Amino acid sequence: MKFGWFSKNLNNILVLLIALVFFVATSAFNYYTQEDDYVKFLSPDETSNYFFTNHYAQTGQIAVFEPANLVAEEIVHPRSIRSDHGWLKPVSFIGIILVYGKIASVLGVGVIPYLTPFFGALGIIFFYALVRRLLGPKQAIVSALLLASFPVYFFYSSRSMFHNILFTIFLLGFTLFASLSIIPRDLLQKIKKDKNFWRLKLVRAEILSYLAALMAGLMLGGAITARTSELLWLGPALFILWLFYARRLAFTRLILMLSAVILALLPLFYWNQILYSSPFFGGYGEMNRSIVQLSQAGGQFVQSTVTGHFTQYKSAANTIWQNIFYFGYHPRQSLWMFYHYVLAMFPVLCSLTFLGGIFLLFKLAKKQQRWIYAYLVAWFILSSLLVLYYGSWKFNDNPDPTRFTIGNSYTRYWLPVYIMAIPLASLAITSLAKLFANLMSLRSDFKWSRGIKRSLESTWVIVISGVLVFIFSIFTFFGSEEGLAILYYNHFTDRNNTLSILNETEANSIIITQYHDKQLFPERRVVNALLTNDDVNASIGALLKEYPVYYYNFFFPPKDLQYLNERRLPPYGFKIELLERRGPFGLYRLDSIATSSPIIQAGTIVTE
């Protein structure tokens, strides 16, 4: 009896085990790098999200007042944070701050770095349930395993303060619950044949479908809150899916779902109004301007349609196009980036996906299934939009722009493209395993039983999946200079450097730096700038009257230091003095000319 239950629920147990191992493995990066008195992240976005999440969890507020900005023309803040009249605010989507901050207000701020691994593990369960509904249990368990080990998903679950994983999990949850909100066709057919016998099951199915529609709406609202800009491709993809399932979804469930979306968006509207003076504005100034121009263009469309003057259509269409592709439209560059970050970075996955697509088309030829059309069309639409939109941008997350590494933004922005490829790859793996098992049985004189064939097929699935998981794992940890193993080592190098700088500077000091703001903030006020910036230099003179000011960047040779002190900086009322050299970088103190000490051309040399 117990063994029968275990055998029947084996796949469910396996996926829970996969999710648990994933949570422990992705949490390990933060567990071994973070300390109670030293919680640091590897990017400005992560630093900003953690800072505001921590503050929101403890105070119920998001913005933080920085009085130094009243003196310094709003320059005292790190990257990914803006200052409005002295108030520090996120330059990002605030969904992760609201969700994680609310959870941390109950469980404590210590859980914040581990929430993304938790949601990532939950996403594996969602993904398994969804693929099981579409392809079956074998493909579902393989898909769950591939997702858990897929480098981009694992990497950004470990890098726990990016909002892409949270967005993806909400989106997976929406897709799963939206599918559950549609009453199965076979049940409807049974009801038509025997209404009395199946009526009770219909009532139960309808209740569950309404609950699923409610959950789907909340999940979709959470996804929009986490990354509002993804509506660019999410809107068309959802519209395509609605066209396929509009009749089966029913009007009442659609209204319930949309109401739940609005309910989930209310906290976002509330905080956007408080922080950015509009429920529809966010931290990105360019995005806010685009929203205004897009709304004006939409008004032009309506006005032109009502009045019959269609000449404004072209102008409105141009406005919409320019704001959607705000950073340009470069299809050749997009294809080039697609090649590097999809085809060249994950060739095995792409090969299996292509093969799985062929098997899926054979499946479609045998039996017409609506979900296959919806899946392929939605995937094509969202992939095209994501590749053209983000591929037209130029991101320099890696200091070397010629390197194509997992830490560059394209990988996390294209995460939905990768994830939708995984079910096809799992279909290819299970189909190949079945083919190999059949070929082995044909070449043998021994008569294979059905049980032996199934065991052999399962063995092939384990072997092929295991090889792919091994390839994924090696790439995640050692595949480039941004592998997790390399980042782990760099973290402790940065830690020693940061602690030394903090010991050398006063608690109320301001440090001007270009790259190290993510390590020094919030223990020190920071200005992300260089001394070549005249506007910043003009504010430094005012800051020096109120705060100790330091400069930490690449070491200046004596000749350059002399130039700065004799010609470049005196017009702004200060000079620069070397305190300490650390490898290629130098820590300098800035002094007002009126109170400055004699300039020291050489300082203490510290080698790392």
Give the pLDDT confidence of 176-207 residue by residue, as tens digits: 999 888 876 666 666 666 666 556 666 777 78
pLDDT at 144: 96
pLDDT at 329: 80
Neighbours of 523 (CB within 10 A): 18
Query: In this structure, what token pair is assigned to residue 284?
Result: 């990105």
- As a whole number of angstroms, the distance between CA 214 and CA 344 comes to 41
Q: DSSP secondary structure string, 121-155?
A: HHHHHHHHHHHHHHT-HHHHHHHHHHHHH-HHHHH
Does the pLDDT at position 292 exceed 90?
no
Q: Which helix (H) or strand (E) holds 465?
A: helix 450-478
Q: Bridge partners of 528?
A: 513
pLDDT at 458: 85
Query: In this structure, what token pair is assigned to residue 511?
Result: 């440090």
pLDDT at 394: 77
**What percent of the chain clears pLDDT 90, i.e. is strictly above it?**
51
- Residue type, position 474, single letter: I
- Residue type, position 508, single letter: N
pLDDT at 321: 61
Of the ranges 43-47, 114-118, 326-330, 597-601, the best mean pLDDT one: 114-118
Long-range contacts of 365-373 (CB under 8 A, 24+ apart): 370/244, 370/245, 371/134, 371/244, 373/244
pLDDT-based confidence at residue 317 (cuts at 50, 70, 90): low
Among residues 482, 414, 404, 389, which one has the least CA distance to residue 43? 482
Segment 491-520 mean pLDDT? 92
Say what the pTM is: 0.89
pLDDT at 251: 83
Show the DSSP H helices in 277-327 as ranges.
285-307, 312-324
Q: Is 521 left (phi over 0), alpha (psi -120 to 50) or beta?
A: beta
Residue 494 sits at the vertex; the CA angle it makes with 564 and 531, to the nearest 5 degrees, is 15
Neighbours of 325 (CB within 10 A): 15
Of the ranges 168-172, 192-196, 532-536, the best mean pLDDT one: 168-172
What is the edge-to-edge ordering of all strands in the sheet holding 585-592? 525-528, 510-513, 549-554, 585-592, 574-582, 604-606
Residue spans of the domains in the chain: they are 2-284, 285-326, 335-475, 487-606
Weakest mean pLDDT among 16-25, 375-384, 393-402: 393-402
Output the average pLDDT for the chain.
Answer: 85
Query: In this structure, what token pair is assigned to residue 552?
Result: 């930490």
